[in-house]
Amino acid sequence: MTVVPRASRWIAAVLLAGTYLCTARAVQSQELLENSPRPGQILLTPEPAETTSEVLGSAPPAPASEPAAAPKPELPFWAKYPIVTAFPRPGWFLVPPTGPGYYSLMDAIRGNYLEKPPAYPYPRFGLMQFSFFDADWRYLDRPDNQETDYLDCLKRIHLGDDFLFTTGGEVRFRYSNEIDSRLLGVNNNYYLNRVRAYGDLWYRDNLRVFAEFLYADSTQENLLPLLIDETGADILNLFVDAKLGECGEAPVYLRLGRQELLYGSQRLVSPLEWANTRRTFQGVKLFARGEKWDVDLFCVQPVIPHPQRFDSVDNDQVFTGLWTTYRPKKGQNIDVYYLNLDQTRRDPVRLALASGPFNVHTIGARYVGDSHNVLWDVEGAVQFGERADQSILANAFTAGVGYNFKDCPMSPQFWVYYDYASGDPNPGTGNTYRTFNQLFPFGHYYFGYIDVVGRQNIHDINGQFAIYPTKWLVLGAQLHIFRLDSPTDALYNAAGIPIRRDRTGQAGSSVGEEIDIFANLHIDKHQDVYLSYSHLYAGDFIRKTGNALSPSYLFIQYSYRW
């Protein structure tokens, strides 16, 4: 079975369905299309009103002899609403170059020279970490907007004065070649295919219904697919938002239903964009969005992918949390959070390590940002609770610093990090359990693309270097030096599952060194090609606890978003 014909049919169905909607918007868009820049012209995309002063500075006061400037006209309702949740910066974030230039390969071919980055909200990268329901299309309703795209007709469709509808989606194809896949000594070559399509309906900013379809499958694999590889046809998001009122000027909403969660660095809570299925939850969330503050309170259950039937929640786990974000300055975030994961299930014993039942509390904070080209990211968390007949006391800490040489050719950027998550020196014995629980992270992003290391029982000294030869091409490399915190505890993979262990500790703590090399080609607003090669040079711990091979991983991915 292959998904390519199915994916084509899904694209065709969405585009055909949008033809009628495009026609309804055609008259409104015609003037913009006629005035759009021709090849070789500079497109001057107006800066949003709330950011212009930050870029240009405050205007000097008018001379006494001159009349004061007229106040700016009030923007239409839909140009400001609904409020969109800002995407928080992950760790070792890149700062894409700005200023005049070509922002995609097709821009360069067509001579479409832009004065500044396009306002188009999808990222100029093959991985879109945030959710479709947080894409910001409000610029399309600004009276001075000059940026157009051939699929604008699918966005911000006005159904009368009070209703607003948006649709879109993605198709993604990935080829993977894994040597010594999962440290099992097996070479695994396979294809991952994914289709997503969504619809988003608002009644003013008071009520929202969002639904997102997902089809994900894996073909030609030499090992059984992972849980995150396939789910068949299913629902990724299906929720209702109701505005409860305002706290000051911050709107407060209640969200009920199936929903993705993304918080802070994604070290603990992430939709896991790398996965073919993405991660989603089901439950209730109360949230407020302000200019400086965001506050979220949620109680959900994780949804388990299942390729033979509709996905359902894990009835043995309940995940609750309170997450606050403060933005003291542009580009800087401070997160303070409390999370609780309660599991009543006793999982299978692996490598003589029992899991569950447990109730783990996590308290943490993070400060991330940049200033004068210096980049930083610091986060720490402490865990406590109960696990079977033991008490929990564990912790994790991350600190990174970087620099953006934005005025140099190719905008080179580097990061240096230290990542730590505690392990247990005496697993299964004593009164205290000390292995950190990584919860629901974006592990692939932080601990190497081969995915044999997770945020549990680990020290990782790592760094990243990246350049932009053009504004539509990024090249980068990462280096990880992995060491176990406790040599008698296990090596846990990206899913938090123990995969290697020496109970005597004689294999040592050296897991190895991994290098990851990646490139992303941004073809146009909709298309990206993303590829990477990774190799883990096995250390003594891997060589002495199973096959002594050094795994490697090659992948190439194409994505199209509309």
Q: What is the 3-state secondary structure (H, E, C) of 307-353?
A: CCCCCEECCCEEEEEEEEEECCCCCCEEEEEEEEEEECCCEEEECCE
pLDDT tens by residue, 275-307 = 999 999 999 999 999 999 999 999 999 999 998
Q: Any residues with CB less than 8 A from the CB of 204 and at least 6 apart, and which?
A: 77, 81, 162
Residue 71: the pLDDT is 66
Residue 33: the pLDDT is 34
- Please report the sign of the dihedral spanned by the C-alpha atoms of residue 47, residue 51, residue 53, residue 56: negative
Distance (Å, rounded) from C-alpha 510 to C-alpha 549? 14
Distance (Å, rounded) from C-alpha 42 to C-alpha 13? 35
Which is more confident, 260 or 62? 260
- Give the residue from 322, 310, 294, 193 showing the smallest Cα distance to 258: 310
Distance (Å, rounded) from C-alpha 102 to C-alpha 124? 12
Q: By 3-state DSSP, what share of the chain in percent is helix, strand and coil, each rounded to 5?
A: 10, 45, 40
In this predicted structure, the answer to whether residue 348 has a pLDDT above a threshold of 70 is yes
CA 302 to chain centre: 17
Whether residue 507 is contained in a domain is answered as: yes
Distance (Å, rounded) from C-alpha 137 to C-alpha 167? 11
Joined tokens for residue 471: 């504004």
Beta bridge partners of residue 470, listed in sequence order: 473
Say if residue 53 is exposed, middle or buried (CB neighbours under 10 Å; 0-12, 13-18, 19+): exposed
Which is more confident, 428 or 299? 299
Task: Extract the runs of DSSP E, i.e. beta strands, from 182-276.
Answer: 186-203, 207-219, 232-247, 250-259
Distance (Å, rounded) from C-alpha 490 to C-alpha 493? 10
Whether residue 67 is contained in a domain is answered as: no
Give the chain's mean pLDDT: 89
Whether residue 193 is contained in a domain is answered as: yes
Joined tokens for residue 430: 């004593």
In this predicted structure, the answer to whether residue 509 has a pLDDT above a threshold of 90 is yes
Do the beta carbons of residue 467 and residue 512 sit within 8 Å?
no
Residue 248: the pLDDT is 86
Flag whether the pTM goes above 0.75. yes
Lowest-confidence region among 14-28, 133-147, 254-268, 489-503: 14-28
Residue 1: the pLDDT is 38
Lowest-confidence region among 23-27, 147-151, 352-356, 537-541: 23-27
Distance (Å, rounded) from C-alpha 162 to C-alpha 158? 8
Q: What domain range includes position 473?
A: 4-45+75-561
In this predicted structure, the answer to whether residue 21 has a pLDDT above a threshold of 50 is no
pLDDT tens by residue, 23-72 = 344 334 333 333 333 333 333 333 333 333 233 233 334 344 455 566 66
CATH number for the domain that contains residue 182: 2.40.160.100
pLDDT tens by residue, 95-138 = 999 999 999 999 999 999 999 999 999 999 999 999 999 999 99
In this predicted structure, the answer to whether residue 378 has a pLDDT above a threshold of 60 is yes
Distance (Å, rounded) from C-alpha 385 to C-alpha 217? 38
Q: 5 falls in which pLDDT band (50, 70, 90)?
A: very low
Whether residue 63 is contained in a domain is answered as: no
- Give the residue from 115, 121, 89, 94 showing the smallest Cα distance to 103: 115
Residue 68: the pLDDT is 58
Whether residue 93 is contained in a domain is answered as: yes
Residue type, 457: N
Beta bridge partners of residue 93, listed in sequence order: none
Residue 308: the pLDDT is 87
Considering the chain, what percentage of its residues have pLDDT values greater than 90? 83
Whether residue 55 is contained in a domain is answered as: no
Q: Any residues with CB less than 8 A from the CB of 484 and at least 6 apart, and which?
A: 423, 457, 458, 459, 491, 509, 511, 541
Residue 62: the pLDDT is 39
Number of domains in the chain: 1
Beta pairing class for 510-522 and 113-114: unpaired
pLDDT tens by residue, 176-214 = 999 999 999 999 999 999 999 999 999 999 999 999 999
